[in-house]
Each structure stands twice: as structure tokens, then as C-alpha cells.
Amino acid sequence: MRNFVLIALFFLVACSDAASHSTQPETQTPKSSASKTPGAVPTSSSAQTEAPVKLKIHVNDTTFTATLEENSSAEAFAEFLTQGDMTLDMHDYGSFEKVADLPRSFPRNDMQIDTDAGDIILYQGNSITIYYDKNSWNFTRLARIDNVNKKRLKEILGKGNVKATFSVE
């Protein structure tokens, strides 16, 4: 019986070794004969960069610009704003954000994120928030306000309700 087990093991090892050394020739992808210029920019459409779409948010006497995120929610929101500006009454929630109901629902791309001052967030598909402090939850980031810090944002948003007008550049 012992000899049978040894022969079976020898046979299995020999077969697995033979299978790993395929007799088919390897194929190679031909190398491009085009010369490459150092610092050249690729010309494929995926490598070309487009200027990011910007939002404008007008609150009190201040206008912010914000860079849209690359997700279907942000795209749908920007597309909606091409029909015209949207002014919302935003109220304070939790002393870290201003929130308002949206006139319609938008697709959600929720993920666990940590917000920071300047984040514009879609909440549950039908509310929009402007964060002036930190929070962590499952949200969809629509955009981020450019070049603003927490202190400045708190000064502008102030306490209580504000009117915010959203538009696309």
C-alpha cells in the first residue's frame, strides 16, 4: 500500500510539473516603432484633460466657486443647474452644516466619507448641505468649495438661515 501511495504522489508531481511547462510558444506584442519625445503629451482622448466644471454659490454678498466631483450625482446636479439658477433657504443643522431640501431627487453615490469645511454634499438624494465643519457619514460629495477655510466659511454662513443661490459657470 505504501508503494502505491508513493507511486501516486510521484505521478501527481510529474504531471503538475509537465503542465506548468507549456509547449505553446509565448506571444509577444510588437513594440511600437514610433519614437517618443521626452515630455510629449499623449493624444488619446482618455489622456486629454478637460477643465473641471465649476459651481457658483452666492451667499449674502459673497460668491464662491466650487469644483464638481466626478460622479453621476454631480453630473446630474450640474445638468439640472443648466436650466437656471437655484436659490434655496438653508438652515443650520448641528452647528456644522447648512442644509436645504432640493426641488427634486438626484442619483446617489453614497460612501463613507469625512466631510470638511467647504464640502457640498448630497444627502439621501434630496437634500443639499454646505459643510463649515467636520462630519463623518455615508454621503455623496457633489463638489468642494475652492480656496476657503473653516473660519471664513463660518463668518459668511453665519448663524441661522441663509439664502444660497447655486449656478454653473
**Digit-coded pLDDT (tens) for 134-157:** 999 999 999 999 999 999 999 999
Structural domain contains residue 24: no
Q: Averaged over 71-82, what is the pLDDT?
A: 97
Cβ–Cβ under 8 Å, residues 129 and 99:
yes
* Average pLDDT of the residues in 41-45: 36
Q: Which residue has the higher pLDDT, 133 or 45?
A: 133
Phi first, then psi, for residue 104 (nearest 5°) are -155, 170
What stretches of 57-157 show up as alpha helix (H) in DSSP?
72-81, 150-157
In a domain, 88, yes or no: yes
CATH number of the CATH domain containing 148: 2.40.100.20
Instruction: Kindly state the helix (H) or strand (E) to which residue 137 belongs, with its residue range.
Output: strand 135-145
The pLDDT value recorded for residue 48 is 52
Q: What average pLDDT score do residues 102-126 get? A: 96
Confidence of residue 93 (pLDDT cuts 50, 70, 90): very high
The total of structural domains in the chain comes to 1
Average the pLDDT over 94-109 and give the result: 96
Grid coordinates belonging to 60? 449674502
Grid cell, residue 103, equals 426641488
b/e 113-152 (16+ beta carbons within 10 angstroms → b)? eebebbbbbbbeeebbbbbbeebeeebbbbbbbeebeeeb
The count of residues in the chain is 169
Residue 153 resides in a domain: yes
Comparing 42-51, 77-86, 158-167, the range with the smallest average pLDDT is: 42-51
Flag whether 2 is in a domain. no
> What integer pLDDT is reported at residue 125 of this predicted model?
96
pLDDT, mean of residues 61-65: 96
What domain range is 133 assigned to? Answer: 54-168
Residue 30 counted as domain residue:
no
Nearest to 77 by CA among 129, 117, 42, 10: 129
- For residues 120 and 140, what is the distance between their CA atoms, to the nearest angstrom? 9
- Please identify which residue in the block is written with the cell numbers 466631510: 115
Q: Let me know if residue 111 belongs to a domain.
A: yes
How far, in Å, CA of 141 to CA of 23, rounded? 53
27 assigned to some structural domain:
no
Alpha-carbon gap, residue 109 to 165, rounded angstroms? 23
Is residue 146 situated within a structural domain? yes
Work out the number of other CB atoms within 10 angstroms of the CB of residue 57. Answer: 17
